[in-house]
């Protein structure tokens, strides 16, 4: 089975450009790990929205790696995450089972 994980962040008004600067290296890190990753920004609907979508082969591997990432963050990475969190006000996560890929 393959999954798509879509994280959506609502940025503080006018802060999406600053937040995107934090998301780009996160997306690049996923790509370097061989994970298909896409970043989206709004062009209609809610304003100041950033979406990152990744494709996952194993939920267990993803969530284990996710926990390890947050447990072992260095100071530079903590600063990056703090910058993203400081520019966003809320978010959602949706997990889809991919039927066709």
| CB neighbour list of residue 72: distance below 8 Å, 6 or more residues apart | none
The confidence score (pLDDT) of residue 41 equals 92
User: What are phi and psi for residue 41, nearest 5 degrees?
Assistant: -125, 160
Annotate the chain with DSSP letters as a single string.
-EEEEEEEEEEPTT-HHHHHHHHHHHHHHHHHTT--EEEEE-SSSSSSEEEEEEEES-HHHHHHHHHHHHHT--HHHHHHHHHHHHHEEEEEEEEEEES--
The confidence score (pLDDT) of residue 101 equals 65
Instruction: Give the angle subtended at the CA of 72 by the CAs of 76 and 55, to the nearest 5°.
Output: 90
Which residue ranges form the domains of the chain, and what is each CATH number?
2-98 (3.30.70.100)
- Per-residue pLDDT 10s for the chain (101 aa) are 899 999 999 999 988 888 888 889 889 888 988 899 999 998 887 889 999 999 999 999 888 988 888 888 888 888 888 888 888 999 999 999 999 86
The confidence score (pLDDT) of residue 65 equals 83
């Amino acid at each position: 089975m393959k999954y798509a994980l879509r994280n959506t962040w609502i940025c503080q008004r006018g802060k999406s450009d600053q937040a995107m600067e934090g998301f780009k290296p996160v997306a690049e890190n996923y790509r370097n790990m061989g994970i298909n990753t896409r970043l989206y920004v709004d062009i209609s609907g809610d304003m100041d929205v950033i979406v990152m979508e990744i494709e996952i082969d194993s939920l267990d591997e993803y969530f284990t790696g996710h926990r390890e990432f947050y447990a072992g963050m260095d100071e530079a990475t903590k600063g990056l995450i703090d910058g993203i969190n400081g520019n966003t006000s809320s978010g959602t996560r949706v997990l889809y089972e991919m039927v066709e890929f």
